[in-house]
Structure 1
Amino acid sequence: MRIPPYALFLLMTAAIQAEAAPCEVPVSGPPRAEPVRQVVIHATGGPDCDPARRFRGGTLDGIVAHFLRHQGTISIHYVIGRDGSVVSMVPESRVAHHVRGRNADSIGIELVNDGDGLDPFPDAQIAALASVLRGILDRHGLRFSSVKSHAELDTSSLTCEGQRIKRKQDPGAAFPWSPLQRAVESRTVEVPTVRKEERATAPDEAASQRNQRQEELRERLRQNALDQEDARTALRLSRQQRARDPEAAALAMRQGADQIGSMEEAISQLEQREKELRAELKAIGQARERATVDDSR
């Protein structure tokens, strides 16, 4: 009998669960005034104007040392190495500085990875992440839909050699969202056997959560489309105004108020967000197809 891929993944999760017990490197943070509402997944590498630092994930020891050196400005709750080693830094009861504007109600997890969409996340690392996430979600009464990417929450940009790029892209396109969700939502290693006549009435929590997340994504896509339409309308009107009044346009340029550039950047970021939402929708559809195939066996 062929073992489904997700069953192998769950077996690995159980095998290293004991190893996923965090090593503590305590770092303090402000007391948490708000309840935890989301968990943010980071990769240690990312875009940078300095080629020596661009998409360099580093090592677990190096990343922990980096957080210790800069704990007054940046911090994190957990760091997970490529081999599945887990380091606990800021306690969950305290705020870490890991994502702009979203620190107060979030827990941050760094994964040692280049974050370029090409560097693979090892199975041991994702299995350890699933174990850590399961504990966090249980402790704070959250569902997997509360797990966010850093890229989703930070839409800022940086300019390198005259070119604007998204400042935070992690964990990147190589991150295995669907296998992670299956591992987190499964509470036992054994895959339950359900008789065909029971399948119509058997509870399917994972399918329910997929459907809920799918509706959330569709609503975000709808809002994103409206935002893009508004931004393009504003850009068109601004260009028309400048064409009618070139002197005002020249004055605005001299004062550094390049509204057109800002609008174009806003549209670019909305388009990038649309791609990310569609990619996650596609992953949910693929997960549903795999679940249907597994049920038919």
Structure 2
Amino acid sequence: MVDHARMLPDAPPTTIEIDPLPYETRLEARPTAAIRGVVIHCTETPDLARARRIGEEVRYPSGTGNSGHYYIDLDGRTLRYVAPERIAHHVRGHNADSIGIELVNRGRYPHWLHADHQAMDTPYTPAQIAALRRLLAELESRLPTLEWIAGHEDLDREQVPAADDPSRQVPRKRDPGPMFPWDEVLAGSRLRRVGE
């Protein structure tokens, strides 16, 4: 059941396309009662197709890779790549108790770790933010144990040597970045933001 008080006026219900990653069933199962938080990411790719290819890459001996649970395209189209009942690899230290939501956004693409390419200056689209608000309202309604929300950058603050100048340090993760409208997204939500 969706909390319509949190939804935008005249907003249609969330339509979520189910498009599981090839390895979804290899990801560890969990009870939904274990889910306490939501982590907001951006894909740091120019389009959903590239984000999907990255998500499909196998990176672990288990035959799985890195991916969020939900992806929101520029036009607000919302897809589920991993069911919430599975632990996706989307943020170090918090995978077991959180859901990862990825918004398509260029971020620092294609030079993610170059010292002079750290601006995160591409705005999120109104359609993405509206879809995200609807998805969060739906998750809050379905998952009563949800209590917190964070950006990837709030939880992973590691600095690493820049790819183009190892004498300089850059953030390993900066998403969702300074263009993300936290106040708008959290208006009416019961989730508390952590890690800022």
TM-score, normalization by structure 2: 0.76
Q: Residue 58 of structure 1: which of 30, 46, 55 is its match?
A: 46
Instruction: Please list, as runs of the form range in 1=range in 2, the aligned pairs for 1:104-253 lying within 5 A after superposition.
Output: 104-115=96-107, 116-142=119-145, 146-160=148-162, 161=165, 162-182=167-187, 185=189
CA RMSD of aligned residues (A): 2.4
3-state SS, counterpart of residue 170 of structure 2: strand
Q: Name the residue aligned to 2:85.
A: 93
Q: Describe the shift of the 1:134–1:142 C-alpha distance in structure 2 as closer, same or farther (beyond 3 A).
A: farther
8 A Cα contact 1:78 1:108, kept in partner: yes
C-alpha distance in structure 2 between counterparts of 1:127 and 1:120, whole Å? 14
Give 1:61 deviation, angstroms: 2.1
Give 1:142 deviation, angstroms: 4.6
Give a deviation string over 1:135-168, Cα, whole Å, max 9, x none: 111211156x611110111122210111111111
Code of the residue aligned with 2:28 in structure 1: it is P
Q: Describe the shift of the 1:132–1:105 C-alpha distance in structure 2 as closer, same or farther (beyond 3 A).
A: same
8 A Cα contact 1:39 1:107, kept in partner: yes
C-alpha distance in structure 2 between counterparts of 1:179 and 1:128, whole Å? 12
Q: Residue 30 of structure 1: which of 28, 31, 44 is its match?
A: 28
Largest Rg, 1 or 2: 1
C-alpha distance in structure 1 between counterparts of 2:128 and 2:150, whole Å? 17
8 A Cα contact 1:117 1:175, kept in partner: no
3-state SS, counterpart of residue 134 of structure 1: helix
8 A Cα contact 2:34 2:145, kept in partner: no
Give 1:73 deviation, angstroms: 2.4
8 A Cα contact 1:64 1:79, kept in partner: no
C-alpha distance in structure 2 between counterparts of 1:142 and 1:120, whole Å? 31
Give 1:181 deviation, angstroms: 1.4
May I ask how many residue pairs the two structures share in their alignment?
167
Give a deviation string over 1:221-274, Cα, whole Å, max 9, x none: xxxxxxxxxxxxxxxxxxxxxxxxxxxxxxxxxxxxxxxxxxxxxxxxxxxx7x
Give a deviation string over 1:5-59, Cα, whole Å, max 9, x none: xxxx923xx43x34x41111113121116700100000111xxxxxxxxxxx220
C-alpha distance in structure 1 between counterparts of 2:19 and 2:56, whole Å? 9
C-alpha distance in structure 2 between counterparts of 1:114 and 1:167, whole Å? 16
Instruction: Please list, as runs of the form range in 1=range in 2, the aligned pairs for 1:37-52 lying within 5 A after superposition.
Output: 37-45=36-44
Higher relative strand content: 2
Q: Structure 1, unaligned stretches of length 5 or more?
A: 1-8, 46-56, 186-208, 218-272, 278-297
Larger relative contact order, structure 1 or 2 (CA cutoff 8 Å, min sep 6)? 2
Identical positions, percent: 35
8 A Cα contact 2:77 2:131, kept in partner: yes
3-state SS, counterpart of residue 99 of structure 2: strand
Q: Structure 2, unaligned stretches of length 5 or more?
A: 1-6, 108-118
Higher relative helix content: 1
8 A Cα contact 2:56 2:65, kept in partner: no
3-state SS, counterpart of residue 138 of structure 2: helix
C-alpha distance in structure 1 between counterparts of 2:173 and 2:65, whole Å? 17
